[in-house]
Amino acid sequence: MTDDPNDGGTDSWNSGGAAALAMYAPEVLTAYGLLVSVRPLGVHDELLESPEVAAYAEQFGTASGVDDQVRERFERAAGDRSAAVADMVWISDVAPRVRGALDALFGPSDEWPGRRRYPVADTQVAITGFTRSIGLLDTLDADRTDAAQAALALTDAVRRTPGEVPGSTVEAVHELLTPAEAVGVVLGAALH
């Protein structure tokens, strides 16, 4: 089978998650690289790894959200750096969802960007660049019912257990979505 990068040919699904992101959403890969390479200036590992931040992070990605007591302890521990620390929690929630889901769909990546974090004055610049780059992607054609169902199953997997996308969902995505559509679904689901 020849491999047209847009038709979902066999080779398109075996390139690795990072390579798929580079092929189908290169602007997002660039923004992702920046996103996972920043940390707030003046926020140290002791705070980021504190029990209060860990408890906040544990509840952050859940459907029920962060309860009031956990939020209050987090805000006391983080003080005037609460927004910056919350940004880091958001990044630490979204980045593994993207990596895990794309690697589940496209095979393991040799390397993802972002091995070292650099202190920056405003992490929101990286977050905004990442979210805007995703917003520029084409959306899935909702008239394709089977494709929409595969996209919903993938969205659910990304939100619940991104590194463990069920085999049946991977098969449906490979059959019913193009690789570019699959990348778009993963990125959209990771943000919500």
Domain ranges of the chain: 10-191
Per-residue pLDDT tens for 49-96? Answer: 999 999 999 988 776 789 999 999 999 999 999 999 999 999 999 999
The SS3 of residue 188 is helix
Helices 82-106, 26-35: axis angle to 10 degrees equals 140
> Which one has a higher pLDDT value, 139 or 26?
26
Report, as an integer, the average pLDDT of 113-140: 91
Residues 150-178 pLDDT 10s:
999 999 999 888 678 999 999 999 999 99
In this predicted structure, the answer to whether residue 134 has a pLDDT above a threshold of 80 is yes
What is the pLDDT confidence band of residue 114, given thresholds at 50, 70 and 90? confident
Query: With contact defined as beta carbons under 8 Å apart, do 98 and 32 qualify?
Result: yes
- Over the Cα atoms of the chain, what is R_g? 18
Q: Which residues contact 185 (CB under 8 A, 6 or more apart)?
A: 140, 151, 154, 155, 158, 173, 177
Q: What is the pLDDT of residue 10?
A: 55
Kindly indicate the confidence band of residue 9, based on its pLDDT and cuts at 50, 70 and 90. low
Average model confidence (pLDDT) across the chain? 90
Alpha-carbon dihedral sign for residues 33, 93, 6, 107: positive
Q: 120 - beta bridge partners?
A: 40
How much is the pTM?
0.89
DSSP string for 12-81 = GGSS-HHHHHHHH-HHHHHHHHHHTTEEETT--HHHHTSHHHHHHHHHHTSTT---HHHHHHHHHHHGGG
